[in-house]
Amino acid sequence: MAGSRALELAELEPVGPGTPAGRYLRLFWHPVMRAKDLPAGRARPLEVLGEKFTIYRGEDGTPHVVAYACPHRGTPLSLGWVEGDDLRCRYHGWRFDGAGQCLEQPNEDRPFSDKIKMASHPTREYLGLIFAYLGEGEAPPFRHYPDLDRPGVVTTDPPEVLPCTYWNKFDNDHGHRAWVHRATALRKNRRDILVVRHEEVEETVYGWRGIRTVKGDQGDMTSSLGTVSGAQASAQNALGPARNTHWFMPNTRLFFQRSRAPGFEASGLWETKAAWVVPINDTSHAAFDVTVAPVEGAEAERYAAARSTQEEEAEDRWDLAERILAGEMTLEDLPDEMTAYTSFTIEDYVTQVGQGSLKDRSRENIGPSEHRTILLRRLWLREVNALVAGRPLTDWQVPDVPFLDAAPVAAQAPGAE
């Protein structure tokens, strides 16, 4: 433990039990799996925050997160059978309920099952995700996000599992967008993505809020991927709801984006998007993205169909990303028909995975414009250092009114439209 010395950023990379960041993250609920990836009657192994678990869904549909290993002799419980709302180990048939209590030991003449209880963690389903509380003691209140509870089509993306520290995703700042996603912008004729924005940030009761202004753009662009016109740029430069972006401590971002769904790119449809970044262990993380699109009726069906192609594309997207990182192909080589959602994830993968660990990044040179990165690191270090020192922590509060219903906060920064 760090004693009285203040922790440094690289010390936030480990997330296992007892580590400073691991202790802090275990104070909150986190998504651990998509709901649709766990059918009723199925058990699967799970790794979150450097710990292994078993997740299963009872035949009545209730998800449970319990210990990874059977308390009898340690066989993975995910190999077993779901029976009703219980789980039976494949090795010697011990049976457990969702609270971890052993109920049966079929081979024993004098069962001692009442003395055997394994770990179990509370779960909730929300927005197509299974959330779990993996900390000790009573779980904190479950958070709802009013902007995500508005009517519309909810799309829960295939999770992005990246083999790098969760900090590489945290640090994926606003300034990357026009550059990392340039190939997609050109391929899809989306000049608005090429707009370079300035972002001011301020601490709030929930974490921080970013306030964006248009700084400029990359100019007229023509490449083998296509041409984007200035006329379109002027029509699309308006930031609209995208003026504000929000970070809910510790690991949730909420923002608004023009739809990238095939057939909706030019429709002016704004999606509300939330992204949870959850460490799997010290060297990999999962990002769970959910979008809510305010469409209904036949439009909603068309939209849902347009988003469903992502599922197939997700199967080999990381193979493509690794080939790009290895220099065998470039981002400009991705197929034209690939949805912008999928090519965005590949573009983010190669830049973030390529960064390596926080220690690898110890010689980075942060610029003064990178307000978001600087503030997020400061908030995290402040809270985790308080936790380690036994000082009170900030009690983050999610506003109960949708941001979309509140007037956008305008920036006072130079470079405003």
Interacting partner of 348 out of ligand FES, Fe ion, none (Cβ under 5 to 8 A depending on kind): Fe ion
Instruction: Determine the interface stretch with ligand FES among 19-27, 70-78, 192-200, 276-284 (rule: CB under 6 A).
Output: 70-78
Task: Quote the least distance from Cβ 103 to ligand FES, whole Å.
Answer: 12
73 binds ligand FES (CB under 6 A): yes
Considering beta carbons, is residue 111 or 262 the nearer one to ligand FES? Answer: 111
167 in Cβ contact with 347 (< 8 Å): no
94 binds ligand FES (CB under 6 A): yes
Instruction: Determine the interface stretch with ligand FES among 4-12, 87-95, 218-226, 295-303 (rule: CB under 6 A).
Output: 87-95
Instruction: Determine the interface stretch with ligand FES among 71-79, 275-283, 285-293, 312-320 (rule: CB under 6 A).
Output: 71-79
Considering beta carbons, is residue 92 or 117 the nearer one to ligand FES? Answer: 92
Task: Quote the least distance from Cβ 41 to ligand FES, whole Å.
Answer: 19
89 binds ligand FES (CB under 6 A): yes
56 binds ligand FES (CB under 6 A): no
Task: Quote the least distance from Cβ 111 to ligand FES, whole Å.
Answer: 12
281 binds ligand FES (CB under 6 A): no
Considering beta carbons, is residue 282 or 348 the nearer one to Fe ion? Answer: 348
Instruction: Determine the interface stretch with ligand FES among 92-100, 171-179, 187-195, 403-411 (rule: CB under 6 A).
Output: 92-100
117 binds ligand FES (CB under 6 A): no
Instruction: Determine the interface stretch with ligand FES among 66-74, 255-263, 268-276, 392-400 (rule: CB under 6 A).
Output: 66-74
75 binds ligand FES (CB under 6 A): yes
How many of the chain's residues bind ligand FES (CB under 6 A)? 9
Residues binding ligand FES (CB under 6 A): 70, 72-73, 75, 89, 91-94
